[in-house]
Copies of this chain bind each other. A is one copy, B any other.
Amino acid sequence: MTERQFLIVDDDPTFCAVLARALKRRHFNVMVAHDGESAEALVREHRFHFATLDMRLEGPSGLTLIPTLKQLQPDMQLLVLTGYASIATTVEAIKLGADNYLPKPADTQQILAALGYSEDTSGQQNHSQAPIPEQPMSVSRLEWEHIQKVLTEHQGNISATARALGMHRRTLQRKLAKYPVKR
């Protein structure tokens, strides 16, 4: 039952912090790596049961790390996480040994579920009392998260963000005006 060593490999400090906190609250032992090298180093030194890997690390695509990590610890559940998801990379990732793949605006629930860590998700029985609610994350919430992320990625440039999102600038404006900030 001590199987709670969790590794987060992501170059976005905010994301890491948020996820790490959420996991710790769930009694996981979390370690973080911001790039491929340190990730590999950590995996060589410690044992992990779960890991999330972002595909967009500075150096080589996170994709190349998959075989390495998986080889070092075959029984570790490896989840590839990315904001730049695509069918093609999904196929690649799974073939390379990833256990699952999620497009990025994903909450802790989904991440754990994708890692096969059931505490009340999809699985079945297990009731006792789920301290963690659990619901798929509404479409609008997801949209909001995503927009915020892309927005900051473009330093708050609305036009650029709208373009990147394939959404009309006016629409983005309206959306942003709607829910000011927060939430």
- A residues at B contact (CB < 8 Å): 55-56, 61, 63-64, 82-92, 94-95, 100-103, 105, 122, 130-143, 145-147, 150, 153, 164-167
Contacts and interface: CB of A to CB of B under 8 A. Distances in A.
Given A63-B130, A138-B167, A143-B143, A101 B91 contact: yes
B138 A166 contact: yes
Given A130-B64, A143-B142, A143-B143, A135 B89 contact: no
Contacts of A138: 165-167
B61 A133 contact: yes
Given A138-B167, A167-B138, A91 B100 contact: yes
A134 B84 contact: yes
Given A87-B103, A91-B100, 12 more contacts: A82-B133, A83-B137, A84-B134, A84-B137, A89-B131, A89-B133, A103-B146, A122-B153, A135-B164, A136-B146, A138-B166, A142-B146
A106 B82 CA distance: 25
Contacts of A64: 130
A131 B86 contact: yes
B105 A142 contact: yes
14 contacts: A61-B133, A84-B133, A84-B136, A89-B130, A90-B91, A90-B101, A91-B94, A103-B142, A103-B146, A135-B164, A138-B165, A142-B143, A142-B146, A143-B143
Q: Which 9 residue pairs are nearest across A and B when measured between Cβ atoms?
A: A138-B166, A88-B131, A94-B94, A90-B90, A84-B133, A136-B164, A136-B150, A61-B130, A89-B131
Nearest to A155: B122
